[in-house]
Amino acid sequence: MSGAETMRIETLNRDTLPGAVETIRSLPEFFYERDLEHAERNYKEFVEGRLKDAVFLTVLENRDQTRGQVLGVLGAIRRCDTDGVYFLASFAVRRGLRGQGLGRQLIEAVESELKTRGARLVFAETTPSPYCAETRAFYEAVGYTCMAQVTDFWQDGDPLMLYGKRLKQPQ
Least confident of 5-14, 64-73, 88-97: 64-73
Higher pLDDT, 170 or 88: 88
Contacts 24+ apart (CB under 8 A), 88-93: 88/122, 88/123, 88/124, 88/125, 89/39, 89/42, 89/54, 89/56, 90/24, 90/35, 90/38, 90/39, 90/42, 90/43, 90/56, 91/124, 92/23, 92/24, 92/26, 92/27, 92/30, 93/23, 93/59
Q: Can you tell me the mean pLDDT for 9-15? A: 94
pLDDT the model gives residue 21:
96
Q: Can you tell me the mean pLDDT for 17-44? A: 93
pTM attached to this predicted model: 0.89
Q: Is it the case that residue 90 has pLDDT exceeding 50?
A: yes
Domains of the chain, earliest start first:
4-125 (3.40.630.30)
